[in-house]
Structure 1
Amino acid sequence: MVSMASSSSFFSALTHSPMPFKGSRNNTIRSHALRMMTRSCPDDSSSLLHAAQFTVDTYVKSGMVIGLGSGQASAMAIRHLGRLLRTGALKDVIGIPMSVTSASEAAKAGIPLDSYQESSQIDFAFDDADVIEEGSLIAIIGRRKLQGDESIVQKKSILNAANDLVFIIEEDQYKGGLEGSIPVLVQSLNWLETAEEIDDMFLGDAEVWRRPSIGQAGPLGGDFPLVTREGHNVLDVIFTSPIVNLAEVADSLDKVKGVVEHGVISKYPSTITIEISIDKNVGIT
């Protein structure tokens, strides 16, 4: 048990899972960890900024190759990393961006960049997540609209290639009994058969819609369904009841013919950095 009673300071607690977990696509079994920080903050943006800065200060070392995530928290972390490089606090750091947006942020921050290759050796990566499953620390990414040439396939490749990984999230994104959608990339040819198989698999628990590129969402994706840069359609598996076991869902999706990738991340080792606003005693086991 680690606890702190002050609302004007922060603490970090590293909690190792008592049960190692097997990833659906990455079959290595490793430990994972939760790093929580508490601070009395006036708003969510300052809370997230502190978590982003803490992540860079704690994990990034000179000479590292860093996977640069996309999203609000990742942009904050990229800007902070750039400041540390400009002041000389860090040296010889190379960034591998996960999207055009993160590449643009990194270029403005003055971070030297390289492109991702299958042979790339990545020391550390950070990213945003839509939600994290409490206990297992399995993440979901890709719920929001994809920006530019953003690719779930490339993002997962970089995250899985990293020796260490941190997701930067807010308190309400870490929860049990997850609800909402899981994005699933499928082959465009015969996509409807794949969608029907997924629908049958989760019958009564989820709806399966093809994501549109413009206009309103709908089961068939409208007249202009989204096609990723790799040529895939995106299905949103929208759960209408809490997801009992996210790992089992991911494993089931992996076995469906026509599924190329999905937004469930079960990479280990991983750490979650959470900033929690508090005004009273707190404790973590």
Structure 2
Amino acid sequence: MASLSFVSLPSLSSSHHNTSTHLILRTPKSLKLRTANPRAVSVKALTLTQDDLKKLAADKAVEYVKSGMVLGLGTGSTAAFVVAKLGDLLKSGQLTDIVGIPTSKRTEEQARSLGIPLSILDDHPRLDLAIDGADEVDPDLNLVKGRGGALLREKIVEAASDKFVVVADDTKLVTGLGGSGLAMPVEVVQFCWKYNLVRLQDLFKEEGVEAKLRLKDDGKPYVTDNSNYIVDLYFKTPIKDGLAAGKEISALEGVVEHGLFLDMATAVIIAGKDGVNVKDK
């Protein structure tokens, strides 16, 4: 894995079975970020919001985009900054002939409103690059994604991409996946969803994981773009073996996809109050 590069901060102007396997959880190594520029600009006097940091990461990620590329367009608040920047570059003529493959209906709507040409994966089965946000990033660039509800389409599009660049602010860094204590989503079919919720809960029973059906503000179940439900898993300690956990979750009949994005990212761009750090493989 390559060392981190540093970018000075710019100014801001505005196979199935039924057996459940016991999975051991632990807290892995911590993430250590290094900056390559010892003369980095001090920004202690600036008050940066989380949106400011997301925009910084998004602006850096768009530098990977070249004219003529077919791009996977991610979903979520950080990815929305990426899409907005792409729209600006197209409008100014700095980018031309790009095609976007959106990972959700709301990303599609945003991209269309900005004049970004769109297509579907069936017509472009190999993408040059995908850019998306993440809910958690561990030291090995493994991710938790899907709190925005688009995990299935995101995983399909990003697996089809030659490069997958992740944009995040430093609040998304964890020592191990599940370490934030926030939701790790599992998309399930509506049929017998409670049966699968119980099975997911039982899979991590001894670790005290809590499984909850995701609900909308009106109390009704959240429905994905694929007409499925989401069961959110809340871990009390980080997952020791993400690959094993992912396989066990996927082996449950009725599970469509999970939010563990393992060994997929080629680079992660992390914005913090001292600048933008790029970590790649």
TM-score range, shorter chain: 0.7 to 0.9
Offset at residue 268 of structure 1 (A): 2.9
TM-score in terms of structure 2 length: 0.75
Give the letter for the 1:46 counterpart.
Answer: D
Offset at residue 273 of structure 1 (A): 0.5
Query: Superposed, which structure 2 residues align to 1:153-168 within 5 Å?
Result: 153-168=152-167
User: 60, 63, 88: which is aligned to 2:65?
Assistant: 60
User: 1:159 touches 1:267 (CA, 8 Å); kept in 2?
Assistant: no
In 1: Cα distance, 2:34 partner to 2:106 partner:
27
In 1: Cα distance, 2:194 partner to 2:57 partner:
41
- Gapped runs of 5+ residues in structure 1? 11-33, 217-223
Q: Can you list the C-alpha shifts for 1:159-191, whole angstroms capped at 9, x where unaligned?
A: 111111111100120121313221111232232
User: 2:141 touches 2:265 (CA, 8 Å); kept in 1?
Assistant: no
| Number of aligned positions between the proteins | 243
In 2 relative to 1, CA 102–250 (structure 1 residues): closer, same or farther, beyond 3 Å?
same
In 1: Cα distance, 2:164 partner to 2:89 partner:
20
User: 242, 256, 262: which is aligned to 1:246?
Assistant: 242
Alignment of 1:51 with 2:57, yes or no, is yes
Offset at residue 258 of structure 1 (A): 2.1
Q: Which residue of 2 aligns with 1:78?
A: 83
Alignment of 1:228 with 2:224, yes or no, is yes
Q: Which residue of 2 aligns with 1:172?
A: 171
Q: Which residue of 2 aligns with 1:23?
A: none
Q: Which residue of 1 aligns with 2:130?
A: 125
Percent of aligned positions that are identical: 29
Q: Which residue of 2 aligns with 1:106?
A: 111
In 2 relative to 1, CA 111–119 (structure 1 residues): closer, same or farther, beyond 3 Å?
closer
Q: CA RMSD in A?
A: 3.1
Structure that is richer in strand per residue: 1
User: 1:138 touches 1:247 (CA, 8 Å); kept in 2?
Assistant: no
Offset at residue 93 of structure 1 (A): 0.6
TM-score in terms of structure 1 length: 0.74
Q: Which residue of 2 aligns with 1:209?
A: 212
Q: Can you list the C-alpha shifts for 1:12-64, whole angstroms capped at 9, x where unaligned?
A: xxxxxxxxxxxxxxxxxxxxxx997976353133332221111111x111110
User: 192, 195, 198: which is aligned to 2:197?
Assistant: 195
Give the letter for the 2:146 counterpart.
Answer: G
In 2 relative to 1, CA 152–278 (structure 1 residues): closer, same or farther, beyond 3 Å?
closer
In 2 relative to 1, CA 141–3 (structure 1 residues): closer, same or farther, beyond 3 Å?
closer
User: 2:70 touches 2:101 (CA, 8 Å); kept in 1?
Assistant: yes
User: 2:4 touches 2:34 (CA, 8 Å); kept in 1?
Assistant: no
Give the letter for the 1:209 counterpart.
Answer: K
In 2: Cα distance, 1:121 partner to 1:157 partner:
11
In 2 relative to 1, CA 207–277 (structure 1 residues): closer, same or farther, beyond 3 Å?
same
Offset at residue 261 of structure 1 (A): 0.6
Offset at residue 264 of structure 1 (A): 1.4
Alignment of 1:186 with 2:182, yes or no, is no
In 2: Cα distance, 1:181 partner to 1:193 partner:
19
In 1: Cα distance, 2:259 partner to 2:158 partner:
12
User: 1:95 touches 1:114 (CA, 8 Å); kept in 2?
Assistant: yes
- Gapped runs of 5+ residues in structure 2? 10-32
User: 238, 251, 261: which is aligned to 1:265?
Assistant: 261
Q: Can you list the C-alpha shifts for 1:233-259, whole angstroms capped at 9, x where unaligned?
A: 211111123333333322221222221
